[in-house]
Homo-oligomer: A and B are copies of this chain.
Amino acid sequence: MKKYVYFFGGEKSDGDRTMKEILGGKGANLAEMINIGIPVPPGFTVTTEVCDYFNKHKNCYPDELSSAVDKNLEKLEKLLGQKFGDPKLPLLLSVRSGAAASMPGMMDTILNLGMNDEVAKGFIALTKNSRFVWDAYRRLIQMFANVALGIDSEKFEDILSREKAQKNVSLDTELSAEDMENVVKKFKKIYQTEVGEEFPQEPKKQLWLAMNAVFKSWNNVRAIKYRELNNIKNLLGTAVNIQAMVFGNMGNDCATGVAFTRDPATGEDKFFGEFLVNAQGEDVVAGTRTPQEITKQNSVAWAKDNNIPENERAKKFPSLEELMPEIYKTLFEIQRKLENHYKDMQDIEFTIQNGKLFLLQTRTGKRTAKAAIRIAIEMVKNGIISKNVAISRIQPEQLDQLLHPSFDPKEKDNVLSDGKLLTKGLPASPGAGVGKVVFSAESAISLKEQNEKNILVRPETSPEDIGGMDAAEGILTVHGGMTSHAAVVARGMGKCCIAGCGDLVINLKERYFTVQNQKIREGDFISLDGNTGEVFKGKVGTILPEFSKNFTKLMSWADDVSILGVHANADTPKDASMARKFGATGIGLCRTEHMFFGGDRIDYVRGTILSENPEERKHPLAELKKMQIKDFKGILEVMAGLPVTIRLLDPPLHEFLPEKDDENEIKKLSKIFGKTPQNIKIKIDQLHEFNPMLGHRGCRLGITFPDIYQMQIEAIIESACYLKKKGIDARPEIMIPLVGNSKEFTILEKMTREIANEIIKKSQIDLHYTVGTMIEVPRACLVANEIAKSAEFFSFGTNDLTQMGCGFSRDDSGKFLKAYVENGIYERDPFQVLDQNGIGQLVEIAVEKGRHTNPKLIIGICGEHGGEPNSIAFCHKVGLDYVSCSPYRVPIARLAVAQSALKK
């Protein structure tokens, strides 16, 4: 028979900390605390398997549950010498939910179960404290009605307020026993009105109704939403913890509090927490009374911050250390014991009942990235954990906090409560951005020149906007997803970006946007939180990132265990140098076309495109070559000694041409290149594509316009030879994009080697270079064995591979991808997290086929997934050699790569 109920209490529990999956986090830790001799009120846990059964069987329980609960209840009664529902020696119970993962949004807690009219009388006789007993009774009715039956708590609070007003007092504690008895009567009436029946006097009925409520709450809207948002999957359900009550509100020798074993904001190794005398847990949270610090040191510091004189502090707000020194000592020892036992910073809850300390919960404490790193480093120093554990313990994504400016949390709370939140989009690139709204790249650049911070707001961005994006503090777009142009470029720039903000309606002509009936004009300030996707009206204060010694140390430990390398995607010497600073050991993707914008370069690019034949193209190509040589020299020099993978021209040519109705630009081109405006427009029409993603781009350009690729190859190799001559170790790797057919590759590879070898021979330089390809077309994966015959490296372009493999473009999928993730069709946005089940198979096929032909093949990934920890774990699993991501994600990738290595 299945064990559905686990007892904890006495000498030893049925369960322990390893059993989170069936006992939930709370239940497992309660059991564990008993096992290591920490005072915990005894009780028992009904498992998550019961929740699963309950939800799968139309809210029915397994047959054997009832007797199991009875048996455990008897055991509890025996242990405590009390009886559930017995007026003479009554046992009161709490019921709390607790899943394997922390999950706000579910039904939480009902206290004082087992109280009824009879028990109240007996309990008063026993405790001689009728005010406390009536208070406990009214709390039960209120919580039970609200939490188990969904009755609005306000209805009860109103009565309490009216009672206080009548008695002319301001705190609950000032109400007398008679007042409270009166309140209980009124609460029972409300209960009857709202529920349609009397408040249940039968304690067992209370218990089962409470359990039902907990199990049902697993599937309430908020809980489902929370699991969705936090990607919590594959859990059976919640457990229910039924535990003997202890009371922090039985008098002044009682208290309740919460504490952290270290400072969760800074990570400092300092016991830290708050408590309230004569209170129950909810009073600490409610905030009507000011909680006191636990340690004297913190109490003094707190008083100083709040300008409270020491004598007033000591009298009104003494620390627990001062107020109950013995209990404090025990608590201090227990928290040390817990941290040493769990080997991690703990977040604990405790209650003191008549001078006796009970722990009600312990769990791993949440902390900032900064604190996480400090705690990990110091725990290694103190021998509590190993370096490997330290590496594994930091969430790679959390490092983002350290790499970008972010909003001051206090200021953000203020603007949120002031209703300044305009809307929410996709958090496309982290960081915080504050500035004046502009609607064009030109305006962004012009404001930047006047030293005015600005936010570029666009329907979507295109390569032409890059200058403006660079000049802006942040980018906000209406269309596009996490891997839209705006998102990718912004992440590359380490600039905050919110994309796919579909609520926005932009009027470009009159230069304003509207959202939720508010009109924001050009020049108005807005603030973007790139970490959450929130858009605020007005300015929100930001705080700057810091790079600590601890951070550097953690990174070096991570690098020591890593197997995969971490390269960066960088298109300019500036980006490359940033990447190197962040620890990249190569450039995995240098997009040559990003160099084609800005200054008069674009004119020559356009001249190249407008040419009718190779002869005409010669002049503009020669000009472009000079510029590209400058770029390549810069990047190769910054990355001296490390590989730099340069991708030949990839996007379709029309991306470089002006809009057909941009008469000024067309006139300008007409003058420069001696074509009629009509001819230029015809060219723009000719280059129009129905599906540019699937159009004339990548190596298809190389095959049809070999002279463009020739120019680029010459520029790369000439730059490298130049540097080599100067003694700088340039290591170019030439990457041919969008190969889908081995013959495409061999034709261009042959051309590349012929040109390169000729230049090297002429230069009399011993330059090593390699030739490889992006694997981004599904077909390429299927014929990887053929391509690998002559390719020296593969680099997975998983953005395009996802687009083509899944059949949806990143720019258009915004319309349905959200619904898809909500419906569980894809667990996560496949542009954010590599779709291992589908696209992952293509990657595996390509790795296997490629390595089969060419065991020396170097394989990396340069899509956006290269900086995403889950995807990195997959890359590790299938045996890639490196990942490449935007410079600002390099530290995250370094940590994720190390963690993948440790998991193996």
Contacts and interface: CB of A to CB of B under 8 A. Distances in A.
Interface of A: 505, 682, 689-696, 700, 703-704, 738, 740-741, 743-744, 747, 776-779, 782-783, 800, 803-809, 811-813, 815-816, 819-820, 823-826, 835, 837-839, 841-842
A812 B696 contact: yes
A804 B778 contact: yes
Contacts of A704: 815-816, 819
Contacts of A811: 689-691
Contact of A778 (B689, B744, B805): B805
Closest 6 CB pairs of A and B: A694-B809, A777-B807, A691-B809, A695-B812, A779-B838, A690-B811
13 contacts: A691-B691, A691-B809, A692-B812, A695-B812, A700-B808, A700-B816, A740-B807, A741-B825, A743-B823, A747-B825, A778-B807, A779-B805, A800-B807
A811 B694 CA distance: 9
Contact of A807 (B779, B819, B823): B779
A458 B841 CA distance: 42
A805 B845 CA distance: 14
A838 B808 contact: no
A809 to B, nearest CB: 4
Contacts of A782: 805, 838, 841-842
Most B-side CB within 10 Å, residue of A741, A779, A809, A841:
A779
Contacts of A505: 682
Contacts of A813: 694-696
A694 B808 contact: yes
Given A690-B692, A690-B812, A778-B842, 12 more contacts: A689-B809, A694-B803, A694-B804, A694-B809, A695-B809, A696-B813, A704-B815, A743-B823, A747-B823, A779-B806, A782-B842, A804-B805
A693 B806 CA distance: 12
Contacts of A740: 806-808, 838
A748 B825 CA distance: 11
Given A741-B826, A744-B825, A809 B779 contact: no
A693 B694 contact: yes
B824 A743 contact: yes
A635 B379 CA distance: 75
Contacts of A738: 807
A839 to B, nearest CB: 7
Among A690, A703, A777, residue most surrounded by chain B Cβ atoms (within 10 Å): A690
A682 B841 CA distance: 40
- Residue in A689, A778, A783 with the greatest tally of chain B CB atoms within 10 Å: A778
A838 B804 contact: no
Contacts of A747: 823, 825
B838 A691 contact: no
Contacts of A695: 808-809, 812-813, 815
Contacts of A835: 779
Contact of A703 (B804, B805, B819): B819
A812 B691 contact: yes
Contact of A816 (B691, B703, B816): B703
A811 to B, nearest CB: 4
Contacts of A692: 690-691, 812
Contacts of A841: 782
B696 A741 contact: no
A675 to B, nearest CB: 16
A747 B813 CA distance: 19
A837 B849 CA distance: 14
Contact of A806 (B696, B777, B805, B816): B777
Nearest to A744: B825
A803 B807 CA distance: 9
B743 A825 contact: yes
Contacts of A839: 779
Nearest to A696: B815
A703 to B, nearest CB: 6
Contacts of A800: 807
A747 B824 CA distance: 10
A725 to B, nearest CB: 37
Nearest to A840: B782
Contacts of A824: 743
Contacts of A682: 505
A690 B693 CA distance: 8
A841 B700 CA distance: 22
Nearest to A695: B812
A427 B692 CA distance: 25
A584 B578 CA distance: 65
Nearest to A776: B807
Contacts of A812: 689-692, 694-696
A690 B815 CA distance: 12
A794 to B, nearest CB: 16
A693 B694 CA distance: 9
Contacts of A809: 689-691, 694-695
Contacts of A741: 806, 820, 825-826, 838
Contacts of A691: 691-694, 809, 811-812
A837 B838 CA distance: 20
Given A694-B693, A694-B694, A703 B807 contact: no
Nearest to A807: B777
Nearest to A811: B690
A834 to B, nearest CB: 13
A609 to B, nearest CB: 13
B820 A703 contact: yes
A742 to B, nearest CB: 9
A838 B744 CA distance: 14
A816 to B, nearest CB: 5
A614 to B, nearest CB: 14
A741 B806 CA distance: 8
Contacts of A815: 695-696, 700, 704
Nearest to A701: B816
A682 B505 CA distance: 9
A743 B812 CA distance: 20
A505 B686 CA distance: 10
A738 B804 CA distance: 13
A825 B777 CA distance: 15
Contacts of A779: 805-807, 835, 838-839
A630 B161 CA distance: 68
A807 B837 contact: no
Nearest to A682: B505
Nearest to A816: B700
Contact of A696 (B783, B803, B816): B816
Nearest to A803: B694
Contacts of A694: 691, 693-694, 803-804, 807-809, 812-813
Contacts of A826: 741
Given A689-B812, A691-B692, A838 B807 contact: no
Contacts of A842: 778, 782
A782 B595 CA distance: 37
A505 B683 CA distance: 12
A693 B690 CA distance: 8
Contacts of A776: 807
A741 B836 CA distance: 12
Which one of A692, A696, A776, A839 has the highest number of Cβ atoms from chain B below 10 Å of its Cβ?
A696
Contacts of A777: 805-807
A738 B806 CA distance: 10
A695 B704 CA distance: 28
